[in-house]
Amino acid sequence: MDTVTLLNVLVAGLLTGCVYGLSALGLSVIFGVIRIVNFAHGEILVVGMFMALVLFRWIGLDPLLSIPVVAAVLFAFGYLLQASVIQRVAHLPEHMQFLLLAAIAIAMVSGCLIVFGPDAQNVQLDYALDSFAVGGLIIDKTRAYAAVAAVALAAALLAFFRFSGTGRAIRACADNYLGAQVVGLNVSRLYAFTFGIGSACIGAAGCIILLLVDVHPYLAPGYTLLAFVVVIIGGMGSLFGALLGGILIGVAEALAAEMIQPSLKSAFSFALLILVLLFRPQGLLGKAGR
């Protein structure tokens, strides 16, 4: 393979990886604060994709422009889910929480099947086949836009946690639960808010992924798994880690697809996962376990 092809593959992988990173951020935020492993992650993402699809078919809205609407609806969904159901199982053992979230996931996939059917569907954008030529590199317009949107949203999310009062209060809850109670933070409301933010983030990633992938309900479990791989590689609970993990997986998949076989690309992400678990089990940017 010549250098130009290699560079093209690397760039495409990097751009896709940014979107994986944004999706994984949604998982990481929820786990990092509430300590709930969101097994309905991929399902929320697929619901986001379908919502963007509907908005495109209905009023011709570009999936990137549908992000505010989809994110707002999924924020409300995540908020209510945490406040009404998940909060009640917070004190139960983890396998009970797993059952609840797995049930929610099954219900969501079944709902999508009833409404949209099992076939793959996509959006036909007028710029779908366009590309930018930078030097010898050829970059798909959709992939470039997707990456820019993903990075911008990830930056906005990180800024929210760093600089806003609510973001700080959420970090405080994650840092010291007892301390948060002592200063009178409304922990259950902040948890609901966090689940909402995480869901909104996943939904936004869904809108963006719709530029690159055809949507059908059975995509969901695969995306849940992918987000887990990304988050474990990057480091559980580390937001920058989720982004880094996403980019690594994007590049690894693109390289594997080009150099070996497209159907083997997942094998390479799992190989990367095994390597990280063997040599740095806390993840690349994660803190060592207590």
Partner 1 sequence: MTESLLGIRDLDLYYGDAAALEDVAIDVPLGAIVCIVGANGAGKSSLIRTIQGIEKPRRGSIVFKGQDITGWPSHKVTDLGIGQVAEGRQIFAGLSVDENLEVGAFLPRGRAGKAAAKDRVYQMFPKLAERRGQIAGTMSGGEQQMLAIGRCLMGRPELVMFDEPSLGLAPAIVQEVFGIIEKLNAEGITVILVEQNVAVSLTLASSAYVLENGRIVLSGSGRELLHHEGVKQAYLGM
Question: Residues interacting with partner 1, by CB under 8 A?
Answer: 165, 168-169, 171-172, 175-176, 178-186
C-beta closer to partner 1: residue 180 or 229: 180
Minimum distance between the CB of residue 82 and partner 1, rounded to whole angstroms? 17
Minimum distance between the CB of residue 187 and partner 1, rounded to whole angstroms? 9
C-beta closer to partner 1: residue 176 or 261: 176
Distance CA 146, CA 15 (A): 7
Minimum distance between the CB of residue 180 and partner 1, rounded to whole angstroms? 8
Minimum distance between the CB of residue 90 and partner 1, rounded to whole angstroms? 16
Give me the DSSP letters along the chain. --HHHHHHHHHHHHHHHHHHHHHHHHHHHHHHHH----TTHHHHHHHHHHHHHHHHHHH---TTTTHHHHHHHHHHHHHHHIIIIIHHHTTS-HHHHHHHHHHHHHHHHHHHHHHH-SS-B----TTTT-EEEETTEEEEHHHHHHHHHHHHHHHHHHHHHHHSHHHHHHHHHHH-HHHHHHTT--HHHHHHHHHHHHHHHHHHHHHHHTTTS-B-TTHHHHHHHHHHHHHHHH-TT-HHHHHHHHHHHHHHHHHHHHHT-GGGHHHHHHHHHHHHHHH-TT-SSPPPP-
Neighbours of 247 (CB within 10 A): 22
Minimum distance between the CB of residue 185 and partner 1, rounded to whole angstroms? 6
C-beta closer to partner 1: residue 125 or 169: 169
C-beta closer to partner 1: residue 180 or 255: 180
C-beta closer to partner 1: residue 14 or 185: 185
C-beta closer to partner 1: residue 110 or 181: 181
Minimum distance between the CB of residue 189 and partner 1, rounded to whole angstroms? 8
For residues 220 and 23, is the Cβ–Cβ distance under 8 A? no
**173: Cβ–Cβ under 8 A, 6 or more apart, which residues?**
33, 180, 185, 187, 190, 191, 194
Minimum distance between the CB of residue 234 and partner 1, rounded to whole angstroms? 18
C-beta closer to partner 1: residue 186 or 261: 186
Minimum distance between the CB of residue 176 and partner 1, rounded to whole angstroms? 5
C-beta closer to partner 1: residue 89 or 172: 172
Distance CA 12, CA 14 (A): 5
